[in-house]
Amino acid sequence: MEERIKLKLAILQIQKHYTFDEVLFLERAKGVDKDYYIAKFPLKKFYRRYSIQEE
């Protein structure tokens, strides 16, 4: 449940800075970090990554 809350908070932070035509991808990285990938369609081009560390 705690991970879901952190994901929702991260999505809200990202939505403040990006428009809704951008798509958010979540991929679990090795270790304890969660990496959030944002890409634009239809090109599906990666252009930024956010990491949220476990506290």
Cα separations (Å) of 29 from 11, 12, 21, 53? 17, 21, 25, 11
pTM: 0.34
Task: Please give the structure tokens belonging to residue 29.
Answer: 């990285």
Rounded Cα gap, residues 17 and 26, in angstroms: 17
In the predicted model, is pLDDT for residue 31 greater than 60? no
In the predicted model, is pLDDT for residue 24 greater than 70? no
- Cβ 35 vs Cβ 49: under 8 Å: yes
Average pLDDT over residues 42-55: 52
